[in-house]
Chains A and B, each alone.
Chain A
Amino acid sequence: MSGVFERKSWRHPALWMSTFVALCAGASVASAQESAPVTSPRVTATLISDAASVAPGQTFRVGLRQRLAPHWHTYWKNSGDAGAPPEIRLNLPKGATAGEIIWPGPDRIPAGPIMSYGYENEIVFPIRVTVPSDAAPGQTLSVSADAEWLVCEKECIPEQGSFILDIPISSAGTPAGDDIGAAFAIADARKPLPGPWSAKLASEGDALALTVEGADLTQAAVKSAYFYPASWGVADHAAPQQLSLTDGTLTLALTKGQTFNPDAKAEGLLAITDGGGVTRWFEISPSISGAPAGGAAPSSLIESLPLWQTALFAFIGGLILNLMPCVFPVLAIKATAVARLSGGELREVRLAGAYYTLGVVVAFTALAAALLAVRAGGTAVGWGFQFQSPLFVAGMSWLLLAIGLNLSGVYEIGLGVTGTGQGLTQKSGHAGSFFTGLLAVVLATPCTAPFMGVAVGTALSASVLVCLLIFLAMGLGLAAPYALLTLFPALARALPRPGPWMLRLRQAMAFPMYASAAWLVCVLSQQLGDFGVLVALSGALLVALAAWIYGTAQHGTGRGLIPRGLAAAAIAGTFGLLLQLDGAATPGIAARTQASAASANYEPFTNARLAELRKEGKPVFVNMTAAWCITCLVNERTTLSTEAVQEAFRAAGITYLKGDWTNRNPEIGAYLRSFNRDGLPFYAFYPAGGREPAVLPPVLTEAIVVGEIERAGRSAQTSPQPIK
């Protein structure tokens, strides 16, 4: 930041009242690379060129450079709720052509309830210019620009300036100096990259869900994400964007903008901050669909269903609850009672039925709300209630097993609490009916708990809306039969009689639970390999043991303190196993990368191997990467692992060394520091013959990598060769 801004003078009201900026005459340091500045107390603006001299036919960049006083900002092409983007008109000599502004990825600049998108400190707005091919070396290329921009802190000031650059034309062209290079690097660091993913935008009511799918979108690689729509009206800029992530699928919950059009594409930038704290902007152009986008990840199993289907399934689940041994007999008794009633009493009973339904629904909503509160609290302290968390997957599989064992009759839940029935029906008054419904839910727990367990597990990984819906529909399902009976007492005759079939149904229900538990162990095996399966099955064994001991104690006489203690010890053992999983999670990823190294065409990086290869005079390409570095993963996918680059590696006999910095590794850390780097991505190419390495830019293209290899090859040929 220039020293100009350290003075407090920009605070003076007279200065911000001025609506234009005087153009400083060319007395100051204009050069071929940077024009004379236009200064205000808020902005020092110049026109800069990334070439000190240009060659005929060359394409180079000019840019409007703005150095901003603290807290002042200028704007992106979609300025957000307020403000306006800068406008730049270039005047070029005949034959020269210019492109559009390459808009750097913006930051969010909130002010109370208003959100702007723009830049603070320093920014460069680059434009590509092509020199006419008939330009004569020795002459100058005169580029002038008229620019207008709005600069805001709290107040907004429109400013403008005119700039002139006279760039010498030379036969080869020369790059600009370090200061200008550093200025362009600010824009380069923010230059949007093509997002190599498929993106969908689903709308429902006021909500939008942006789903982006790609193998490199892992929980390790994406720490936070934000979608900047390219134009106003698509999404509410000020609304928070909630990120949820399963490996391979990133979802942002947005709020619909005022002119959201489901028939248009909603282009924009997805800003991803990776595990190393580096933010990159990716261009995405999501297609818009009416239904929420489905995904292959396990957690989106529920989300992939249309909302009404999810609700329907939950409703059916609620209906099934009525068939459970401690609910159904009560229902049957009520049904016979209702069937005997006459007109006047019937009306009263119907009203009671309505209040009962309300009670059930309120109880379920309260349960959902409590769960959501727990989940919000959990997220705040960093629990991941998602299926990509091995802890959650293992815990869920054990829970499902425990539920299944309960359904199979190995043990019972809270026998002291059973028996809801007639005591409640005998209560009078509508408040009584309401609380009957409320308590029916609580007191029917022994039988409903298994199903509630499943619902709870689902709700923990679903969105707030879906979670509420599931519980609401379940409540309605549970209340429906009684409500229907009060409306149509004749239905009572159609009800089957309570009997042993209820037990058989319950026992049969255990098998879907076992199946789900088995599926989750399979998920775990993909996440952590053999070790995950071992831990999951050991835990399952302990859960089964605990259930059996506990069940035996329930069936026996006496207080059964010893068996209960043993059961508790077994459960404690499973928690111990869970902690094992936590420790295992990261090595698992590392192990996977190493395992795949064998099949891929790279070797793991070590200093020893690098030194050995260089001593042999072999060319080496070094790639330092990490599972949490999104740019690294994208570079690997779009550049390093493409056929063209791999072919170039093979043709030049390059050994490809890959260092994994997912877990901090002192050897790699020291290697990076030797290049004065402390972060990723990092790429170095060591040409053949043990020559000095070239460090490649953090954002790669095939052209950059192949170009670097070819250049090294050429300079090797032109350098003095030993006489044969």
Chain B
Amino acid sequence: MTDNRLKSHLADLPFDRRTLMLGTTAGLTAVAAGGLTMLTSQPAMASPQINKPAPDFTAVDSNGKTQRLAELRGKIVALEWTNHDCPYVRKHYNAGNMQALQRQAADAGVVWLSVISSPPGEQGNVTPQKANELTQSRKASPAAILLDPKGQMGRAYDARTTPQMFLINAEGILVYMGGIDSIPSTRADDLEKATPYFRDALAAVTKGEPVKNAVTRPYGCAVKYTTS
């Protein structure tokens, strides 16, 4: 390249329309292709983060009432993923452990929401009536039972097992997620020996103290998500 040609470059400033259209088309195609790649490479689930705002949810409970996390601001919220036929869930209900936790929560003004993410035809899926019957027969006392047959709320919270527990403080911040205790078994005698992670977290949050073990291993049956 010579100095003259450099000068000619400078003189040749207006670009032609064809180039502009070509460039714009190329750019838009690239953006579209890129966007598509991003979308398809998204992981199946977005994990909720501890000490970050809990994912909002809107779900209909067994009494037909719509529950929204945003409307519960100012109250501590406990979430319990459940499936009444899962042997791990049965361990905690048959031994009265889950009911005791629910009473403890209610006494402290905590809103306890049991969540069922089983779709129709899968284990754990219940009609609203059956959900209420189970509450009565098991002497359980959740504030409400949320029916999530499409698994939207379950996926938002990345719930993978039943039981799996979450605690959200009055400011809407997720302060606990994980197991109900430390021994992943279906044996009721292990309840005594286990470290009660969720009970400890509940006590800490109601007292306004930080939760010591804020993330623990959830154990139990897989949540039966709809595959569609």
**A325 with B13: in contact, given A363-B27, A370-B33 (CB under 8 Å)?**
no
B6 touches A370 (CB 8 A): no
CB distance B6 to A82 under 8 Å?
no
**Which residues on A sit within 8 Å (CB–CB) of B185?**
84
Q: State how many residues of chain B have any CB contact under 8 Å with chain A.
A: 59
| Complex: A233 Cα to B47 Cα, angstroms | 13
A-contacting residues, B170-223, CB 8 Å: 177-178, 184-187, 215-217, 219-223
Q: Does A12 contact B (CB under 8 A)?
A: no
Q: Could you tell me if A442 and B225 are in contact, using CB atoms closer than 8 angstroms?
A: no
Contact A329 B222 (CB under 8 A): no
Do B217 and A259 touch (CB < 8 A)?
A: yes
A371 to chain B, nearest CB (A): 9
A498 to B6, CA, bound (A): 10
Q: Which of A19, A112, A362 has the most CB of B within 10 A?
A: A112
* A413-434 interface (Cβ within 8 A of B): 416-423
Residues of A within 8 A of B225 (CB): 111-114
A238 to B222, CA, bound (A): 12
For residue B25, give the distance in angstroms from its CB to the closest CB of chain A.
10
Q: What A residues does B220 contact at CB under 8 A?
A: 82
Q: Are B14 and A232 touching (Cβ within 8 A)?
A: no
CA A443 to CA B3, docked complex, whole Å: 21
Closest to B185 in A: A84
CA distance A259 to B178 in the complex (A): 10
| B-contact 0/1 string along A448-470, CB 8 Å cutoff | 00000000000000001000000
Interface residues of B in 88-112 (CB under 8 A from A): 88, 90
Q: A258-B177, A258-B215, A369-B35 are in contact. Are A325 and B160 (CB under 8 A)?
A: no
Tell me whether A81 is interfacial, beta carbon within 8 Å.
yes
Report yes or no: A325 in contact with B34, Cβ–Cβ below 8 A: no
Which single member of A157, A326, A366 contacts B27 (CB below 8 Å)? A366
Are B227 and A112 within 8 A (Cβ)? yes
Task: List A contacts of B122 (CB < 8 A).
Answer: 154
A377 to chain B minimum Cβ distance, whole angstroms, is: 9
| CB contact under 8 A between A438 and B27, given known A259-B217, A421-B13 | yes
Cα(A419)–Cα(B11), bound, Å = 8
A258, A325, A366, A443: the one within 8 Å of B31 (CB): A366
1/0 contact string of A139-158 vs chain B (CB within 8 Å): 00000000010101011111
Also in contact, A233 and B217, with CB within 8 A (given A114-B223, A238-B44, A258-B177): yes
Chain B residues closer than 8 Å to A255, beta-carbon distance? 43
- B159 to chain A minimum Cβ distance, whole angstroms, is 10
Q: Which of B31, B86, B151: most chain A CB closer than 10 A?
A: B31
Tell me the nearest residue of chain A to B33, going by C-beta. A373
Contact mask B11-51 → A, CB, 8 Å, 1/0?
A: 01111100110011011011101111110010111010000
CA distance in complex: A464, B45 (Å) = 19
Tell me whether B6 and A502 are in contact (CB under 8 A): yes
B36 contact set on A, CB distance < 8 A:
373
Which A residues lie within 8 Å of B3 (CB)? 499-500, 503
Contact B45–A238 (Cβ < 8 Å): yes
Q: How far is the CA of A127 from the CA of B215 in the complex (A)?
A: 33
**CB-based contact A152/B221 at 8 Å:** yes
Q: Are B1 and A81 neighbours in the complex by a CB distance under 8 Å?
A: no
| Contact in complex: B1, A409 (CB < 8 Å) | yes
- A423 x B14 contact (CB < 8 A): yes
The answer to the question of B123 belonging to the interface, with a C-beta cut-off of 8 Å to chain A, is: yes
Which residues of A15-43 have CB atoms within 8 Å of chain B's CB atoms? 19
Bound Cα distance from A150 to B186, whole angstroms:
9
B45: chain A residues at CB < 8 Å are 113, 238
**A493-511: contact bitstring with B at CB < 8 Å (1 yes, 0 no)?**
0000011101100100000
Interface centre among A82, A499, A502 (most CB of B within 10 A): A82
Given known A-B contacts A114-B222, A366-B27, A369-B37, A419 and B9 have beta carbons under 8 A apart:
yes
Give every chain B residue within 8 A of A325 (Cβ-Cβ): 1, 6, 9
Contact call A370/B29, Cβ cutoff below 8 A: yes
Q: Is A236 an interface residue (CB 8 A)?
A: yes
A418 to B29, CA, bound (A): 22
Contacts of B178 on A, CB cut-off 8 Å?
Answer: 258
**Interface code A479-501, partner B: CB below 8 Å = 1, 0 otherwise?**
00000000000000000001110
Contact of B1 with A442 in the complex, beta carbons under 8 Å: no
- Cβ B34 vs Cβ A370 within 8 A: yes
Q: Report the separation of the CA atoms of residues A498 and B9 in the bound assembly, to the nearest whole angstrom.
A: 12
A369 to B221, CA, bound (A): 39
> Is B84 located at the chain interface by the 8 A CB criterion?
no
Closest residue of B by beta carbon distance from A423 = B14
Given the interface pairs A367-B30, A373-B36, A412-B1, the reply to whether A116 lies near B222 with Cβ below 8 Å is yes
Is B123 within 8 A of A155, CB to CB? yes
CB of A152 within 8 A of CB of B222, answer yes
Closest to B178 in A: A258
Complex contacts, B216 vs chain A, CB 8 Å: 259
Interchain CB contact under 8 A, A111 and B34: no
Complex CA gap A368/B35 in Å reads 11
Contact call B1/A329, Cβ cutoff below 8 A: no
Q: Is B128 an interface residue (CB 8 A)?
A: no
8 Å CB interface, B136-160 against A: 151, 155, 160
- Complex alpha-carbon distance, A372 and B40, angstroms: 12
B12 touching A419 by the CB < 8 A rule? yes
How many Å lie between the Cα of A155 and that of B123 in the bound state? 7
Shortest C-beta distance, B65 to chain A (Å), equals 28
Encode contact with A along B43-74: 1 for CB under 8 Å, 0 otherwise.
11101000000000000000000000000000
Residue B133 CB within 8 A of the other chain: no
| B14 CB contacts on chain A under 8 angstroms | 419, 423
A156 in contact with B86 (CB, 8 Å): yes
B28: nearest chain-A partner, CB-CB: A366
Enumerate chain B residues within 8 angstroms of A236, measured Cβ to Cβ: 43, 47
Measured CB to CB, the nearest residue on chain B to A113 is B44
A residues 239-287 touching B (CB-CB < 8 Å): 239-240, 255, 258-259
* Closest Cβ neighbor of B29 among chain A residues: A370
Q: Which of B24, B30, B177 contacts A370 (CB 8 A)?
A: B30
Q: How far is the CB of B183 from chain A (nearest CB, A)?
A: 10
Asked whether any CB of chain B lies closer than 8 Å to the CB of A376, the reply is yes
Tell me if A156 and B221 are in contact (CB < 8 A).
yes
- Complex Cα spacing A233 to B184, Å: 14
State in angstroms the CA–CA spacing of A114 and B219 once bound together: 12
Inter-chain contacts of A150 with B (CB < 8 A): 87, 186
Shortest A575–chain B CB gap in Å is 24
Known: A369-B30, A369-B31, A422-B13. A82 touches B19 (CB 8 A): no
Return the CB mask of A341-373 against B: 1 if under 8 Å, else 0. 000000000000000000000110111111011
Q: Which residue in B1, B23, B43, B222 is a CB contact (below 8 Å) of A439?
A: B23
Instruction: State how many angstroms separate the Cβ of A113 from the closest Cβ of chain B.
Output: 4
> In angstroms, how far is the closest chain B Cβ from the Cβ of A425?
9
9 other A-B residue contacts (CB within 8 Å) besides A83-B222, A154-B122, A157-B87? A111-B225, A113-B155, A156-B221, A239-B43, A259-B217, A366-B27, A423-B14, A438-B24, A499-B3
Q: Which 10 A-B pairs have the closest CB atoms?
A: A369-B34, A370-B30, A442-B23, A82-B222, A112-B225, A366-B30, A373-B33, A419-B12, A81-B160, A158-B186
Provide a sorted-by-A list of 29 A–B residue pairs whose CB atoms are within 8 angstroms.
A19-B87, A81-B160, A81-B161, A82-B223, A83-B221, A111-B222, A112-B226, A113-B44, A114-B222, A116-B222, A148-B187, A156-B86, A158-B186, A238-B160, A258-B47, A259-B216, A259-B217, A329-B9, A366-B30, A369-B34, A370-B29, A372-B34, A373-B33, A419-B13, A421-B13, A439-B24, A442-B23, A443-B23, A464-B41
